Structure 1
Amino acid sequence: MSRLFRYFEGHRLSSIFGPLMKLVEAVLELLVPMIVALIIDVAIPTGDVTNIIKYILVMFGIAAAGLAFSITAQFLSAKAAVGFAENLTNDLFEFVLQLPKEVYGTISPGSIVTRLTSDTFKIQSGLNTFFRLFLRSPFIVFGSLIMAAQIDGRMTLIFLAMIAILFVVVGAIIYLANPLYTQIREQFDLLVTLTQEQMKGMRVIRAFQQKDREVNEFKAQNKNVTTDQIRVGFINAFTNPLTYIVVNVALIIVLWQGGNFINSGSLTQGQLVALVNYLLAILVELVKIALVITQLNRAYSSAKRVVTVFEQPLESEEFENSSQQNEEKHTVLSFQDVTFTYPNATKPSLSNIDFSIKEGDFVGIIGSTGSGKSTLLQLITKTYDAQEGGVFFQEEYFNTDSRRALRENISVVPSNVALFKGTIRSNLLLGNPEATEKMMWQALEDAQALDFVRSYPEGLDKEVATFGRNFSGGQRQRLTIARSLIKPSSLLIFDDSTSALDYVTEANFQKTLKEKYNDRTIIMISQRTHSLQQANNIVVLEEGSQIGYATHDELLANNPVYQEILPIAKCEGGSR
């Protein structure tokens, strides 16, 4: 938890002077009951209007000074809390981007989003409350106790007993409620994850008429969150009644005892009024302390969840590049008897994969669903490392100094289209921030996206909605292909990224690849055998095993699995 303190950088003075200003305001507030006592005991009995006005003006002066200190304190506290949250959120987001993929098996993406947004906001709110009240309220409580003791030491025992009882009450409520706050955050994570899944799968839900099932599942999870929140609310609901009961009993005792002391001449009326004011001040501040501690508990629960993310191991930039083993000349990438098993999986996703790729090769990868095609690509991009065997990268062709440097040489078009809110231009610039407008139009033309982009009056500045929802599936794929082509890379990877294109558009794209990008090495995953017919070699996968690596004609003549895939692909093509 101590690692979070560094996020006060740039806001340390605000975080110190904010509470100090609040303490000055508290000191001024403690003076008011004493001045009221003087007015009642000194000014009013003498009938000196001038003296009364003088005391009233002093009270107004104290109020004005207190207001100035309070506003300054509020500003500094808010500035420190917001600045802390900004530093924390920025660093947390940057940290999350560096997490290895296996972490998301431990902390779901929905939970990460919640921690980046809701939890950091709760930390900000907790800090703001802490700066404003956590030091001020105890100071008022104990300051009132000391001031009451100065007026009449006999009343101190009543005040002490009331404070002790109230601390026990507030402590018990916090003890019972605190575990539920953590539980609520966990339940809320599940609700966010469920909502994300439902939003992303909306078309599937509608297609299979599963609306009622999903609604019921959402209601059930929402009810879990609501139930926990009601339980916390029920426990916290005892705070005000119990504190008011204790304070009012104490108030009755003070008035009763104070009346006796006034009759005996050992206490003045003004002093009794001051004691009552201090008693009420203690009540108000203890209620505030209860609310502050409740909010700080929420912030603490959120802070622990954020720290849990920071405790995850970062993806290592270093990786072991397998040594070259009898590779042919110009080999730039090779799998050397690679076996890979996902974390927590019971069996390997890939077994004994062994093939090599030469510079400028066009290599296809084909296989049934779950055969390991995408896993193969994740090993190439070093998202994961093989447990057995090795992946060799030719250092003259790839920069192998780090994972980041290697990925700079690789351009990937994922199977799940990833477009970001902004414009076509901003999405293309993600591939190459230094790309000129001419380069962008050329990439769009090569990706077969030129016609539909030119049809928009805005051109490259056409708005792109979140996830590119304002474009068709084929248009989204072509835009992501253009972004990949504009990136200066040695290796192009297409992960089933032409599945939404019609056959004419795909044929034109394949022709463009062959004519304009023959200097780059290309790896293409596709379910369409005709997409891979021009490949130098095709990797055939089946249940994680490599059962073929040859040209289209050789596989068609000798590979039974490839022979089975071909008619299925033709049938799918005919049905389009």
Structure 2
Amino acid sequence: MLRLLRFLRPYRYMVIMTMVFVLLQSIANLYLPTLMSDIVNEGIVKEDTAYIWRIGGFMLLVSAVGAILSVCASYLASRAASGFGMRLRSSVFRHIERFSLQEFDKLSTASLITRTTNDITQVQQVLNMMLRMMVMAPMMCIGGIIMAVSKDAKLSLVIIGAIPILALAIYLIGSKGIPYFKTMQTKIDRLNLVLREYLTGIRVVRAFNRTEHERARFDQANQDLTATAIKANQIMAAMMPIMMLMMNVTSIAIIWFGGLRISTGHMQVGDLMAFLQYAMQILFSLMMASMMFSMVPRASASSLRIHEVLATDPVILDKEQAEAKKAREAGEVIFDQVTFRYPGAEKPALSSVSFTAKPGQVTAIIGGTGSGKSTLISLIPRFYDVESGSVRIGNTDVRDLPQNVLRAIIGFVPQKALLFTGTIADNIRYGNEGATDEEVEQALQTAQASDFVATMKDGLQTVLAQGGANLSGGQKQRLSIARALIRKPEIYVFDDSFSALDFKTDAKLRAALKNETEEATVIIVAQRVNTVMDADQIIVLEEGEIVGKGTHHELMDTCDVYKEIVKSQLTEEEIA
């Protein structure tokens, strides 16, 4: 947790003032029993009413000052802790933005969400408490002991004897509870994962009538978390009864032995009353410490998980020297003996892949499921880096380009069309924030999306649900294509982006794309033969290797894999 305190640096003056206020508040609280002792010994015993009023008024003033200091300390501690949480969340989010897909695969999306929200909240809450208690608890404990000894050194042995017993109990209970709090955060990850899968896959769940199955999965994860939380809280709950027992036993002992000392004339009644209050303050300070012990383990586990995210260095980084100009001048994409395997995989997903996609041409990639088509095009924008060989744009390896420059020249349409909450216009301008209304309309027309957008009540200002849930699959794909077109990039990459379109719309869209992308490099991944037949170059993949390269007619003569794909989709008349 200490490693995260650097995010508290801008609020160091608030932290210092919080500690000063808490220190002054503690002094005020420690002074009150002495004033009460004076009232009893000097005012009540001697029947000096004026003295009682004077010291009583002073006690009220000290109490009021202590209350004001407490409010100020709480306010500053809350401000500092909230600011700490804000900066930490921003830092984690910015760090996650730099992650490649490899880091997302390693840490998982559900876990990253938990760490950015729940874990940071846990640390923030404990920090808020610690800013006040880490000064107050030791101050009240040490100050209380000093004041108690000043009242009666011999009677202080009762307190000194109770403190180690109480401290040992707190340690034993805390050491048993810590492992459970660490486990709880992992189980929250699991609960988030199950919930996220259910919510994102609600259509599939209902289509296959698996609601009861998903409910059982959620209940299992929920019960597992609940059982761990109950066990942890049961252990920590034992702390309060032990504390109260020790406080009551200590109070009885102080009153018993204090009464004996009063009877022998070694102590006054007011001093015994003050001594009893100091004993309570000491034990209450230990109770505050025990509360921190119950929260710190969970916050410690959370801080480790947060630090794990911040300590994870992205695999894909920009080099210091990057030749951005060359990338801008040439849109030619060259794969040179590219081999790639996913982390932990035994077999490469791609092996010795070589081809060139030239500007002004359409390069299509086709192959069976799992042949490596999507993996191949993921290497162009550096979602992953090659294991060996190189991917070049012009004469420049993509690893030598800044990632923002590289991706600025690519219009990427993913296999799964993803839209964001907001209007249709906002989603189109996601590709180019400065696009005019005319450019937006032109992109929609090219993507064959202007007709269905025009039928909507609010047109371009129609608000989309999360993920574009209020659109069909084909509509989402066309808006995704429009979002890429509005960038006017040098390289277009379509990852099976026409799969949800009917054949008529598919043909019209490809015809419109020819005029829009005639000077750009176009790479299309597709399952349909109709989509790739007219391409200038077709790459046929099988098990991560190129088994055919050429035009449709050339491959029909030379590539058996391609012929099988064609025969499985087209009739004899269409082939002829």
Query: Following TM superposition, by how much is the alpha carbon of 1:320 offset from its aligned partner in structure 2, in angstroms?
Result: 11
| Residue deviations 1:199-219 (CA, integer Å, cap 9, x gap) | 222222222232232222222
C-alpha distance in 1 between matches for 2:435 and 2:395: 26
TM-score normalised by L of structure 1: 0.94
C-alpha distance in 2 between matches for 1:160 and 1:397: 72
1:155-554 alignment, distance < 5 Å: 155-314=155-314, 315-318=316-319, 332-395=332-395, 400-554=400-554
Query: Following TM superposition, by how much is the alpha carbon of 1:257 offset from its aligned partner in structure 2, in angstroms?
Result: 0.3
Aligned partner of residue 541 in structure 2, secondary structure: strand
Are 2:357 and 2:523, in contact at CA under 8 Å, matched by a contact in 1? Answer: no
After alignment, is 373-382 or 420-429 more displaced? 420-429
Tell me the amino acid that sits aligned with residue 341 of structure 1.
R
C-alpha distance in 2 between matches for 1:568 and 1:64: 87
Query: Following TM superposition, by how much is the alpha carbon of 1:312 offset from its aligned partner in structure 2, in angstroms?
Result: 1.1
| Residue deviations 1:430-450 (CA, integer Å, cap 9, x gap) | 211211222112212211121
Query: Following TM superposition, by how much is the alpha carbon of 1:354 offset from its aligned partner in structure 2, in angstroms?
Result: 1.6
Tell me the amino acid that sits aligned with residue 99 of structure 1.
F
Q: Which residue is 1:327 aligned to?
A: none
Q: Which residue is 2:7 aligned to?
A: 7
Q: Which residue is 1:84 aligned to?
A: 84
Tell me the amino acid that sits aligned with residue 287 of structure 2.
V
408 and 161 in structure 1: CA distance in 2 versus 1, 3 angstrom threshold: same
Query: Following TM superposition, by how much is the alpha carbon of 1:34 offset from its aligned partner in structure 2, in angstroms?
Result: 1.0
| Residue deviations 1:130-161 (CA, integer Å, cap 9, x gap) | 11212111211111111111110112211111
C-alpha distance in 2 between matches for 1:455 and 1:502: 19
1:66-85 alignment, distance < 5 Å: 66-85=66-85
C-alpha distance in 1 between matches for 2:322 and 2:510: 31
C-alpha distance in 2 between matches for 1:13 and 1:112: 32
Tell me the amino acid that sits aligned with residue 391 of structure 2.
V
C-alpha distance in 1 between matches for 2:227 and 2:2: 33
Query: Following TM superposition, by how much is the alpha carbon of 1:458 offset from its aligned partner in structure 2, in angstroms?
Result: 3.0
Q: Which residue is 1:325 aligned to?
A: none
319 and 340 in structure 1: CA distance in 2 versus 1, 3 angstrom threshold: farther
Are 1:399 and 1:405, in contact at CA under 8 Å, matched by a contact in 2? Answer: no
Query: Following TM superposition, by how much is the alpha carbon of 1:399 offset from its aligned partner in structure 2, in angstroms?
Result: 10
Q: Does 1:563 align with 2:563?
A: yes
Q: Which residue is 1:114 aligned to?
A: 114
Tell me the amino acid that sits aligned with residue 335 of structure 1.
F
459 and 543 in structure 1: CA distance in 2 versus 1, 3 angstrom threshold: same
Are 1:398 and 1:409, in contact at CA under 8 Å, matched by a contact in 2? Answer: no
Are 2:422 and 2:464, in contact at CA under 8 Å, matched by a contact in 1? Answer: yes
Tell me the amino acid that sits aligned with residue 257 of structure 1.
F
Aligned partner of residue 266 in structure 1, secondary structure: coil
Query: Following TM superposition, by how much is the alpha carbon of 1:398 offset from its aligned partner in structure 2, in angstroms?
Result: 8.3
Are 2:331 and 2:521, in contact at CA under 8 Å, matched by a contact in 1? Answer: no
237 and 304 in structure 1: CA distance in 2 versus 1, 3 angstrom threshold: same
Tell me the amino acid that sits aligned with residue 465 of structure 1.
A
C-alpha distance in 2 between matches for 1:556 and 1:49: 114
Tell me the amino acid that sits aligned with residue 543 of structure 1.
E
C-alpha distance in 2 between matches for 1:321 and 1:281: 64
Q: Which residue is 1:65 aligned to?
A: 65
For structure 2, which runs of at least 5 residues remain unmatched after alignment? 324-329
| Residue deviations 1:513-545 (CA, integer Å, cap 9, x gap) | 012221111111111111112210111111212
Aligned partner of residue 501 in structure 1, secondary structure: coil
Tell me the amino acid that sits aligned with residue 529 of structure 2.
T
C-alpha distance in 1 between matches for 2:331 and 2:420: 36
Aligned partner of residue 499 in structure 2, secondary structure: coil
| Residue deviations 1:375-415 (CA, integer Å, cap 9, x gap) | 10111122222222222220489895323311111111101
Aligned partner of residue 223 in structure 1, secondary structure: helix
1:6-85 alignment, distance < 5 Å: 6-85=6-85
Tell me the amino acid that sits aligned with residue 486 of structure 2.
I
Tell me the amino acid that sits aligned with residue 203 of structure 1.
R
Q: Over aligned residues, Cα RMSD in angstroms?
A: 2.2
Aligned residue pairs total: 565
Q: Which residue is 1:326 aligned to?
A: none
C-alpha distance in 1 between matches for 2:437 and 2:7: 40
| Residue deviations 1:308-363 (CA, integer Å, cap 9, x gap) | 111112231139999xxxxxxx8811212222111100111111212111112111
C-alpha distance in 1 between matches for 2:178 and 2:211: 36
Are 2:398 and 2:406, in contact at CA under 8 Å, matched by a contact in 1? Answer: yes
Tell me the amino acid that sits aligned with residue 123 of structure 2.
I
Tell me the amino acid that sits aligned with residue 318 of structure 1.
K
Deviating above 4 A after TM superposition, structure 1's stretches of 4 or more consecutive aligned residues are 319-322, 395-400
23 and 265 in structure 1: CA distance in 2 versus 1, 3 angstrom threshold: same
C-alpha distance in 2 between matches for 1:321 and 1:394: 14
After alignment, is 88-97 or 184-193 more displaced? 184-193
409 and 399 in structure 1: CA distance in 2 versus 1, 3 angstrom threshold: farther
Identity across the alignment (%): 33
After alignment, is 535-544 or 216-225 more displaced? 216-225
